[in-house]
Amino acid sequence: MNYKKPIAFITVFILAFALKAQDKGAVTFEMKLSKSKLGLNERLRVDFTMNKDGDNFNPPDFTGFRVLMGPSQSISSSWINGVRSYSKTYSYTLAPSAKGKFTIKQASIVIDGKTYKSLPKDVEVTAAVDKPSDQMTADDVADENLHLVAEVSKTNPYMNEAISVVYKLYVSPSISVSNYQPLDNPKYNNFWSQDIKVSALNAQNGTYQGKPYRYVVLKRVVLYPQKSGELEIEPLSLDVTVDVPTNKRDFFGGRIYAQTNKTVSAGKRTINAKALPSKNRPVDFSGAVGEFDFAVTTSKRSLNASESLRATIEVSGKGNLKLFKLPEPVLPSSLEVYEPEFKEGVRTTLAGMQGTVSNDYTIVPAFRGKYPLQPISFSYFNPKTEKYTTLTSDEIIINVLEGPTSGANTSAVASGANKQNVVASGSQFNFIKLDANLTAIGTNYFLGSNLFYILLFGPLLFIPIAILFRKKRAEIASDVVGNKVRRANRLARKYLSKAKKELGNKDSFYVALEKALHNYLKAKLKIETSEFSKDKISELLHKKQVDESTIAGFLELLTNCEAARYSPFSEVQMQNDYDKASEVISLMDKQL
């Protein structure tokens, strides 16, 4: 039986039906306002847009407004991948005639024999504004449509409770941002902080003060307050290049944009950190805040003397895992205990730290017997329940099967020290034999031997070598310019060695490069530069009579180090910055 014809017929039928349904349901006719609130001396633009051509367009009466221009008509049509896109717009420019709230009523049009109506929209007219929107400069428009916001997850946390700060740049759809550079980064004093890497700058839809905006997440950081009281988060400031549309159009009808630079700041935020309650605070509390599990385990519980086992004290969960001390084991004095090996498996997200921290102790018993590993307790504060919780491990018995017998009691009183005294048994010392069984090794004369002549005449061979070495050193010392160049190059390599290892890894490379530049100034000028601004560094280098071009190159490198935290940098750019840093340090060293 031939199925091809029925299948082809069904496919064509389904496609025709889908296209017909799509065509039928795709007709739109809507009204768009340039603003919903305006001053008495401002202008309102009203657009009636449809995606299919129609007839008998009937506009509303525009009660409360005077028609200054319109209707003007514009049509847009294009084909993309075989699909037609069509748009037709009737536009009006209106001037309000009085203050108050007005409703622009429905407009209607006939498309394919069917009447479509737009939805009515409300407009509020206020008193005259100082600067009407049609007279606003590009700076005024950018101020109204560009906002940098620091969103704090919690403003009243407990000490050592995680909070997150997300910096978002909100941009109105009416403007566009072409570039930005960080001007001032917050230092987060009185907080333990960790940046959460922003892998890509993806624009997302959102709202700001009830209006539709696009926003980009620029920076994310997790903070743990380290003291109680009011703590300030310093603002993040950016220099942003903004493209603002004007009312002018080019020869082809495209809108002309005006470009301006604006400085936006997230503003200071205040955190009110609460002190941990002193009521019911456990004696062994070491500052852990969060939700944790606690476990004490051993690699084995039966072994022979002089063998070793590992005892692990582990805390896992969610909280300030890097900011507290783990409890220590309490062991009998007959066990030899070595310094612990600390292990950390912690990852930090916007919700805070989570993972595991542990101490591994190596324990070596010296004598046969049974040794108790006493219960260990761990206390933490849970900010959700606002209560302290104490977790206690079970007692573990370590059974040493074979080995010498201790003269002391095997279950001796426990000691908290890491290294213990070992009690010796009575049979540990035996009688020392008196017969040494020594044998003669023969006679060997040094005088006249080969070694004698080597030691006698060998120093004479080093005299011409020493003379040549001394002449070479004198030549090098007399080459003043060459010595300066070599010393400067060694200095540059010394400070930039870490940065060179991180080439290709943008974040690590620029962190290392920034430290190298600051450490160079610190070592060369005997000053602390980490708290200096770029203006202070420039002023300091001018006093030291460093060339203007060298100073500019040094400051440009510092700016690139800051910009790399928010902007993508290629490997070529990293290599160029590394080469430039070597050159700038060498030039600066000669001048200083």
Could you tell me which residue, 484 or 472, shows the higher pLDDT?
Answer: 472
Topology of domain 290-415, per CATH?
Immunoglobulin-like (2.60.40)
Q: Are 580 and 553 in contact (CB under 8 A)?
A: yes
Alpha helices in 79-217 (DSSP H): 138-145
pLDDT for 490? 65
Question: Any idea which of 44-48, 94-98, 202-206, 245-249 has the lowest mean pLDDT?
Answer: 245-249
| DSSP-assigned letters across all residues of 25-55 | HT--EEEEES-SEEETTS-EEEEEEESS--E
Question: Any idea which of 245-249, 302-306, 440-444 has the lowest mean pLDDT?
Answer: 440-444
Burial (CB < 10 A; 0-12, 13-18, 19+), residue 225, is buried
Tell me how far apart the alpha carbons of residues 346 and 144 are, in angstroms, rounded to a whole number: 43
Could you tell me which residue, 201 or 13, shows the higher pLDDT?
Answer: 201
Residues 527-543 as b/e (b if ≥16 CB within 10 A, e otherwise) read eebeeeeeeebbebbee
pLDDT for 432? 56
Share of residues in the chain with pLDDT > 90 (%): 27
pLDDT tens-place string over residues 446-467: 677 777 778 877 787 778 888 8
Q: SS3 string of 521-564?
A: HHHHHCCCCCCCCHHHHHHHHHHCCCCHHHHHHHHHHHHHHHHC
pLDDT band at 375 (very low <50, low <70, confident <90, very high): very high
| DSSP-assigned letters across all residues of 435-491 | ------------TTSHHHHHHHHHHHHHHHHHHHHHHHHHHHHH-HHHHHHHHHHHH
pLDDT for 417? 40
Question: Any idea which of 264-278, 319-333, 414-428 has the lowest mean pLDDT?
Answer: 414-428
User: Rounded to 5 degrees, what are φ and ψ at 7?
Assistant: -65, -45
Instruction: Read off the DSSP letter of residue 405.
Output: B
- The answer, yes or no, to whether residue 217 has pLDDT greater than 80, is yes
pLDDT for 142? 81
Q: Which distant-in-sequence residues (6+ apart) come within 8 Å of 213 by Cβ?
A: 147, 170, 171, 172, 173, 205, 206, 207
Q: Is 163 left (phi over 0), alpha (psi -120 to 50) or beta?
A: beta
- Most confidently modeled of 13-17, 329-333, 493-497? 329-333
Share of residues in the chain with pLDDT > 70 (%): 81
Average pLDDT over residues 43-59: 87
What one-letter code names the amino acid at 236? L
Could you tell me which residue, 284 or 78, shows the higher pLDDT?
Answer: 284
- Farthest-apart Cα atoms in the chain, separation: 132
Residues paired with residue 511 on neighbouring β-strands, in sequence order: none
Average pLDDT over residues 127-143: 73
Average pLDDT over residues 355-377: 92
pLDDT for 135? 61
pLDDT for 131? 66
pTM of the model: 0.51
Q: Is 183 helix (H, G, I), strand (E, B) or coil?
A: strand
- The answer, yes or no, to whether residue 411 has pLDDT greater than 50, is no
Could you tell me which residue, 282 or 434, shows the higher pLDDT?
Answer: 282
Question: Any idea which of 189-193, 486-490, 514-518 has the lowest mean pLDDT?
Answer: 486-490
Topology of domain 481-591, per CATH?
Four Helix Bundle (Hemerythrin (Met), subunit A) (1.20.120)
pLDDT for 513? 83
Average pLDDT over residues 99-113: 90
Per the listing, tokens 């895992």 go with 321
pLDDT for 321? 93
pLDDT for 408? 45
26-133 maps to which CATH number?
A: 2.60.40.740
pLDDT for 295? 95
Average pLDDT across the chain, whole number: 80
Instruction: Read off the DSSP letter of residue 131.
Output: S
Tell me how far apart the alpha carbons of residues 550 and 581 are, in angstroms, rounded to a whole number: 10
- Most confidently modeled of 98-102, 137-141, 428-432? 98-102
pLDDT for 415? 43
Dihedral of CA 150/154/156/160: which sign? negative
- The answer, yes or no, to whether residue 83 has pLDDT greater than 60, is yes
Q: Is 214 helix (H, G, I), strand (E, B) or coil?
A: strand
pLDDT for 313? 95
- The answer, yes or no, to whether residue 289 has pLDDT greater than 90, is yes
Question: Chain centroid to CA 41: how far?
Answer: 47
